[in-house]
Amino acid sequence: MKKAEMVVNEEKDKEDPSLKLKMEMEANIQKQVLERLAEENFLKGIKLFNYPEVVKSNQDIESCQVYVPKEAYKMDFVFFNGKDVYDNNDKKDFRITMKGGMDVFEFDDFLLEEKRRELEKLAKDQAERERHANEQT
């Protein structure tokens, strides 16, 4: 290795720790901003916010983090300007298909099971009220 190359490599080695520290600091700042935005919006009852706070056209943004439950097989969504304009992808909605979870048939079965449990609970509660009413008379 030539002496000039060694000097360049030594300079790169010196820059790497400071670059790493700078990136960590930027990540921490971004995390703090996101936490602040989340808390401010949550306290106002707003469940969706965007980062950066000011959104410009022709720009990538992180508009939300969404927890996807294990029962989800797709997520449909539309965009709304808050006044009078919706973008629903020409009546097809925007869609994200989930991988590794339920499919549409398993989801239908899940919904039917949930409904069966709900009806069973309602019937049990009604029977308990009737039994209690009969004991009162």
Q: How many CA atoms lie within 13 A of 95 on its CB side?
A: 10
Tokens of 14: 């010196």
Together in a domain, 12 and 49: yes
Predicted local distance difference test score (pLDDT) of residue 57: 60
Together in a domain, 30 and 47: yes
Task: Report which of 102, 98, 100 is spatially closest to residue 113, judged by C-alpha positions.
Answer: 102
Tokens of 133: 């009413």
35 to 22, 26, 48, 60: CA distances (angstroms)? 20, 14, 13, 20
Together in a domain, 20 and 61: yes
The residues, ordered by sequence, that sit 6+ positions from 29 with a Cβ below 8 Å of its Cβ are: none
Domains held by the chain: number: 3
Domain with 87 in it: 66-100
Together in a domain, 18 and 60: yes
Tokens of 3: 């002496």
Together in a domain, 55 and 94: no
Asked if pLDDT for residue 115 goes beyond 90, the answer is yes
Task: Report which of 74, 76, 77 is spatially closest to residue 98, judged by C-alpha positions.
Answer: 74
Question: CA 110 to CA 108: how far, in whole Å?
Answer: 5
Tell me what the mean pLDDT of segment 45-58 comes to.
71
Predicted local distance difference test score (pLDDT) of residue 133: 92
Together in a domain, 5 and 59: yes
pLDDT tens digits, residue range 61-113? Answer: 667 667 778 888 888 888 888 889 998 888 888 887 888 878 889 999 999 99
Predicted local distance difference test score (pLDDT) of residue 72: 83
Together in a domain, 70 and 58: no
Tell me, letter by letter, the H, E, C secondary structure of 57-114.
CCCCCECCCCCCCCCCCEEEECEECCCCCEECCCCCCEEEECCCCCCHHHHHHHHHHH
